A and B are shown apart, each in its own frame.
Chain A
């Protein structure tokens, strides 16, 4: 059982926007500025997309954006492209342990 809860799947058509959510508790997302999102394309290594809730590493398109409200973090992918089809994972630090906790992942399908 994952520490953070993500809906297993999401989908959208090319050009549309889709939002993926990640629900935690006051012990993690609710009291954290260190929420991250990762993209894992089929057969590939996870890639950092968003860190510290809403910051993008160099090279990540601004079509990807992050936000947080209470104990739920969100990743929005705008202008969907076929290449965005991947698994997306959220993560956060926690008050109880030093290791990072992950969500179970959301499989994004581009229709």
Chain B
């Protein structure tokens, strides 16, 4: 089945770090841009980070300010989001999405990140 499955969400204290993973199945992962999109509780969608198929180009939302790093392992069909210096404003469901010409045609179910003391 064509799908994306996120993992790694957790409760973390302000200032802490977390690494999210997204596993892709049943499509040619290495040919696709991948993006992390987040949704704070009761709020809208927000692009977090995007990575080119070969990993050579990465782009981030303005709010990231150098705190997050996106990466991928095409041999394992995985994409990652390393998040450092987390703040309460980063509390959200983080979705992994397949991006094709600036549209997201496949979404994972999301993983919840809660930043709280």
In Å, the complex CA distance between A102 and B35 comes to: 13
Query: B103 interface residue, CB < 8 Å from A?
Result: yes
Chain A residues with Cβ below 8 Å from B109 are 45
Interface size on B, residues (CB 8 A): 25
Contact B95 A100 (CB under 8 A): no
Name the interface size band of chain A: 20 to 34
The B interface is mostly helix, strand or loop, or mixed, namely strand
Chain A residues with Cβ below 8 Å from B110 are 45
Contact B104 A99 (CB under 8 A): no
Query: B88 interface residue, CB < 8 Å from A?
Result: no
- Give the residue of B45, B57, B99, B101 whose beta carbon is less than 8 angstroms from that of A38: B45
Contact B107 A57 (CB under 8 A): no
Query: B41 interface residue, CB < 8 Å from A?
Result: no
A24 shortest CB reach to chain B, Å: 13
Query: A23 interface residue, CB < 8 Å from B?
Result: no
- Give the residue of B50, B102, B105 whose beta carbon is less than 8 angstroms from that of A91: B102
Q: Identify the B interface with A (CB < 8 A).
A: 35, 37, 44-50, 57, 59-62, 95, 99, 101-105, 107-110
A and B contact pairs by CB, cutoff 8 A, 7 listed:
A48-B103, A52-B101, A89-B44, A89-B45, A98-B59, A102-B45, A103-B44
Closest 4 CB pairs of A and B: A98-B59, A99-B47, A34-B102, A93-B102
